[in-house]
Amino acid sequence: MPRQPKAVRRSRPHPATAAAPPIPLGEPSELGHFLGNVGRTVGATLLAGTMIGSATLAGTLVGLAVSFRNLPDVRILQSYSPSETSYIYDVRGRLLSSLHDEANREVVVLDRVSPHLKRAILAIEDSSFYQHPGINIGSILRAITTNFETGRAAEGGSTITMQLVKNLFLTPQKRISRKVAEAVLSLRLEQIFSKDEILEMYLNQVYWGHNNYGVETAAQSYFNKSAADLTLAEAALMAGMIQAPEDYSPFNNYKLAKQRQSLVLSRMRQLGWITEAEERTARQQPLYVGRVTSFRTSKLPYVTNATIQELEKRFGRDALLKGGMRVQTTVDFYYQKMAEQTVKEAYARLRSRGARIDQMALVAVDPRTHFVKAMVGGVDYERSQFNRAIQALRQPGSSFKPLVYYAAFATGRYTPDSIVQDTPVSYPDGNRVYRPRNYGGGFSGSVSIRRALEISLNIPAVRLGKEVGLNRVIETCRILGFHSPLEPVSSLPLGSADVTPMEMAGAFATFASGGWHSDTTFIVQVTDSSGKVMLDNTPKPQLVLDPWAVASLNSALKGVIERGTATSARLGRPAAGKTGTTDSERDLWFVGYVPQLSVAVWAGNDNYAPIGYGATGGTYVAPVWRSFMERALRGVPPKDFAPPSQFPKP
C-alpha cells in the first residue's frame, strides 16, 4: 500500500488520484504579502483606520472575555484530529471501499490545496484574512448596516477564523451572546495559531454538501481529482458553494452553481488577484462534474465486509469509522473477480444440468503466508449478503478425513501403506449404537490407508479416529485454526461437525506448506492517515505439524486426484485434495491444494435441502475447483510436495 508523508493532522493525497506536485503559490509569508499589497490598494488611510478600529474592538472584547469563563479552551486544537474517513485497498493499493460516520473527510496539508482554491475562498469569504486579528470591524459594521436596512440577517460579517470557531465549538443559533463568544474565541485562536494553520484547519473542516467534509473529499466528489489539482474554474465553483452547499451544488442545480462561480471570479478580478483574461478563460472552461462519493458501495463487498469485521474486533467500530485508517487487504482485485466469475459460471452450469443447488462459496489461501487471496461468500451478493465462506457452519463430510489421517501419521504408528480394516464395526454412542457405513454400502476388507483415502472409505476413518483418540484429532484442528465447536463423537472423523470453508482452506494451507502455519487473515497492514503503522500482519509462520506426517498425508491425498474420487480435479501438475459429501447430499465439498495455493469450494442450499441422489463433491464441486485453479495458477511453475523420505519418522 502506498506510503503517505507524516505530519500532524495530515494525510496523503487521495489514493484514487495521482499525486501531482503542489502548484507554486510562494511561501506562506509571500501569500500574506500578496494579500497585504491588495489590501493596501484600498488606501493606507482607510486601512489604518480599520486596523485601529479592529484593535479597539479587540481590546473591548478581551475585556468582555471575563464574562465568558466557560468558553472552550482553543488550545485543545493543538492536538485536535478531526474525524477522518477510513479507506480499504486491495493488496496492490487499489481503492475498494471507504468507511465513515457522519463526516466523510480526508485531511490534507495546506500545501496540497490548489492556490486557485485558496484565493477563491479568501476572495468570497474573507479577503482581508491575512490582515485582521481574527475579527474584521469593517465587515461587522457593513453587516450591521445591511441587516438594519433589509430588516433581516442578510449578511454575517464573520471571518474565516470566526467560521472555524463556530463550526468547532459553538451552536449555530443566531444570538448576540454567541456572536460575542465567537469573536472572543477567534481572538484567542489567532494568538495561538498562525494564519496558515487556521486556514488549513478551516479547509479541512468546512462542509461542502453531500456528506463531504473538507476540501480533499469535496474535490474528489465534485471533480474526481485531488484538491491540489483544481483549476481556477473548478476552484471558483467550489468556493461559491460554501455559504449554502446543498443549494449551490452542481449535482442539484448546475445553473445556480455556475452563477455562484461567476460571482467568485468577479470578486477575484475586483481584488486584482486574477487578470481579465484569466477570468474570461475560467468562465468559458467546460466543467466535468463527478458524482457523489460519500455513499458509494464496495467494489468487493464480500472481502471488505469480512475485513471490517476483523478490524472492528481489534480496534472497535468508532475508531474504524472516524480514525482515518488505511487498510491494505491481502486480496488482489482481479484475482477476486476471477474467483467470483468462476463461481457464477459454475453455478449456472450446474443449474442448467438440473442440480438443485442455491449457493456456493470459495476461499483461496496462500500457504506461504496464510493470506486470503480470494473469498466468494455466495453466488450473488446483491441477492444475499450472507457470507457463507466465513459465516455458514456446514458439515464437511469426508473432506474432514485428512485431519484424522494426519493425527494417525503423527503418532508414528501408521504410514500411507499401513493396512486398516474396512469391515462392519459398531461403537456405543450415548444412548445408541453407532454403526458407520460406506457411501453406497459394501465393504473392502483389508485395505491400505492410501487406498482408503483415495476412494473415501468411511469405516477405516472412524476406526483410526477411535484408535488415535478423537480428542487428539480435535487438538490438531485447534492447532490449525478451527474455532467452530468440535465434540469427540464417534461420527466426527466423517465430518459430522459444523465448520466454515475458511477454516478448511486455512487448515489445508498448512498441509500444503509442510506444516508451517500462520493465522489466516484478510489484512496485510493498517496505518493511520499520517503513515503510522497500527497493525502489521507480516507472516510469522511456525512449524506446528510433524513434517513427516504432513508429507505422508500429502502423498496419500495426491492419489485422491490422480486415481480416486477427485479425478475431475486433475490439473496436470502435482496437487492434493479431498472430496466431501454429507448424508442426503446436503453439502458438497472439495478442498485441494498445490504448494502455492489452497482452495476450499462448497455447494449446497441455505435451507439444508438435499441436492439430489448421486450428487457428490467429486462430480459437482471438484470441477469448480479445477476451473479456478487453472486460472489462478496460469504462469505459475508446477512444484511438487516434499516426499516423506526427506524427513525422519516420528
| Active site positions, annotated | 125, 398
Residue 363's nearest CA partner among 539, 95, 593 is 593
DSSP codes, 394-442: B--GGGGHHHHHHHHHHTTS--TT-EEEES---EEETTEEE----TTS-
Per the structure block, which three cell numbers stand in for 562?
490422480
Distance of alpha carbon 351 from alpha carbon 606, whole angstroms: 16
Please check whether residue 37 is in contact with residue 130, taking contact to mean a CB–CB distance below 8 angstroms: no
Phi, psi of 649 (to 5 degrees): -75, 140
Distance of alpha carbon 273 from alpha carbon 181, whole angstroms: 33
**Helix (H) or strand (E) segment spanning residue 212:** strand 212-213
Residue 213's nearest CA partner among 293, 307, 310, 308 is 293
**Distances from the Cα of 487 to the Cα of 29, 403, 431, angstroms:** 73, 14, 16
**Helix (H) or strand (E) segment spanning residue 604:** strand 597-604
What SS3 class is residue 301? helix
| Amino acid letter, 25 | L
Residues whose CB is less than 8 angstroms from the CB of residue 48 and which lie 6 or more positions away in sequence, other chains included: none
Residues whose CB is less than 8 angstroms from the CB of residue 334 and which lie 6 or more positions away in sequence, other chains included: none
Beta strands in 343-486 (DSSP E): 359-365, 372-376, 419-422, 427-429, 432-434, 445-448
Distance of alpha carbon 236 from alpha carbon 230, whole angstroms: 9
Distance of alpha carbon 600 from alpha carbon 605, whole angstroms: 17
Distance of alpha carbon 489 from alpha carbon 494, whole angstroms: 10
Q: Burial-class residue 431 by CB neighbours within 10 Å (0-12, 13-18, 19+).
A: exposed
What SS3 class is residue 123? helix
| Amino acid letter, 362 | L
Sign of CA dihedral 430, 435, 436, 439: negative
